[in-house]
Amino acid sequence: MSTVDELEAPPREECGVFGVWAPGEDVSKLTYYGLYALQHRGQEAAGLAVGDGDQIVVFKDLGLVSQVFDEQTLDALKGHVAVGHTRYATAGGACWENAQPMFRMAPDGTDIALGHNGNLVNFRELLVEAATKGLVDKRWADPEALSARGADGANEVTAPSDSDVMCALLSDGVRDGRSVIDSAMDLLPRLQGAFCLCFTDGTALYAARDPFGVRPLAIGRLERGWVVASETAALDIVGASFVREVEPGELIRIDGAGVHTQRFAETTHKGCVFEYVYLARPDSVIRGRAVNATRVDIGRLLAKEAPAEGDMVIPVPDSGTPAAVGYAQGSGIPYGQGLVKNAYVGRTFIQPSQTIRQLGIRLKLNPLREVIRDKRLVVVDDSIVRGNTQRALIRMLREAGAAEVHVRIASPPVKWPCFYGIDFASPGELLANCVDGDDYDAMVDAVCTAIGADSLGFVSVDSMVEASRQDRAQLCCACFDGVYPLGMPQGDANAELVHRMQKENNRV
């Protein structure tokens, strides 16, 4: 029986950001509820920074939004502008120091607090710059030399996150009469990779999005203010009306005079297609396309591309549900709920006992035996990464009496890691790489055998893109096709491995 340790965590986005400028409103509680709506984008740490024009107060800690904040804490955070953040660790460790928002004081005394969603690919270059200026530990001025000293030497100093380095460089530029906007317009064009930023100087709210628009970022209007959030669902939660998305390559400033906009780079759309597949909430909208509708359409197209003979279509809740609805519609096979999800199982800091560990996937999902017994099931899930969870799930369904288990996946095979803010595994850990070369059918057969299914089918990249209603040229599909439009980080072991794989497959 699979244990908790053997089950994989789902693909995780790095962060969610939320900002509000609203004099006269309780901005700390608005931010709290906004972060609650973005909890799925980061469950390791949460924080918020509140400014009143004189100073910024930051409160952050490890844990879920509901664990980090209470009524007393929120009541003590008074001001008219706030920046909030939920975090997973994909760059920098899971420690308090890397929880966000980051905070720095500029040379002219201005407080700066910053929240970041994404990953930079030129982080090493920026780290050296920050260390050379004395903004972070000076030993990072030559990270190659530090790494060459071996594990003991490297452990003498913990590398800051790319978010901390950005905050340090941004605040350092606010000096000698230069404003936050001046500093941002100098720094932002030099950032390479995926980034959505919300930051404040305690007076105004600022937001910026990388020129490719990899991660979503939306602007909403309150009756007495403005909101910026990673997803439109967070705008809905706080009662803000959607205005528009922050454009890729745009820097905005929100204050009493409204929304001011500047461009620091030309727009080249390369939005993350996996936001539509899994990452974003189904009630969010990205580039005018409803995420839920996209997932239902993926399911319909999947039914055409990978038909199955079955008695019932069931989802792996919750992320597989819209695609399962679409698959049932496209195939004519009845839709049913064969699995019950424990809505309160998430990340926990309480370690399970060995007895509980043996329960494995049943902590999260439990079969409805009377529904699935003797049925040929078509099980729809959002993706396969390592395959451990699917293997345990199929075993559980068979033990519950399923006659056959046919697995259909509402995304193409994940063969390549992400360097832009999703913690996909290294290439060697991805189950779709279990067969050398580009023999697709052999790969599907091998994965099917590995997870113990009666059959297996994936939606194609073309159908996935079609369902998003976006142009293929305007989407990043790197985790599926190995094409990295923003480049890859230098000095990264996975990036070097990917580069070798690309050469072997004649991709470069």
Residue 382, marked binder: yes
Distance CA 346, CA 65 (A): 12
Half-sphere exposure of 114 (CA within 13 A, CB side): 28
**Over the Cα atoms of the chain, what is R_g?**
23
Residue 418, marked binder: yes
Which DSSP string corresponds to 310-354? -SEEEE-TTTTHHHHHHHHHHH-PPB---EEE-TT----SSPPPH
Q: Calculate ∠ Cα 225-231-237, nearest 5°.
A: 60
How buried is 476 (Cβ within 10 angstroms: 0-12 exposed, 13-18 middle, 19+ buried)?
buried
Whether 15 is catalytic is: yes
Beta strands in 325-440 (DSSP E): 339-341, 365-367, 376-381, 404-409
Residue 230, marked binder: no
Distance CA 214, CA 425 (A): 19
Distance CA 477, CA 248 (A): 18
Residue 196, marked binder: no
Q: Which residues contact 202 (CB under 8 A, 6 or more apart)?
A: 51, 52, 53, 54, 55, 56, 79, 81, 110, 111, 113
Phi, psi of 377 (to 5 degrees): -95, 140
Cβ of 470: how many Cβ atoms within 10 Å? Answer: 19
Residue 383, marked binder: no
User: Residue 202 region, left (φ>0) first, then alpha (ψ -120 to 50), else beta?
Assistant: left
Residue 198, marked binder: no
Residue 381, marked binder: yes
Distance CA 420, CA 425 (A): 13
Q: What is the dihedral of CA 108, 111, 117, 121, to 10 degrees?
A: 20
| DSSP H stretches of helix in 94-161 | 123-132, 143-148, 150-154
User: Structure tokens of 120?
Assistant: 């930079």
DSSP at 157 = S
**Residue among 15, 167, 196, 477 flagged as catalytic:** 15
Strands 404-409 vs 376-381: parallel, antiparallel or unpaired = parallel
Q: Which residues are annotated as a binding site for [4Fe-4S] cluster?
A: 272, 418, 476, 479
Q: Which residues are annotated as a binding site for Mg(2+)?
A: 319, 381-382
Just list the catalytic residues: 15
Q: Which residues are annotated as a binding site?
A: 272, 319, 381-382, 418, 476, 479
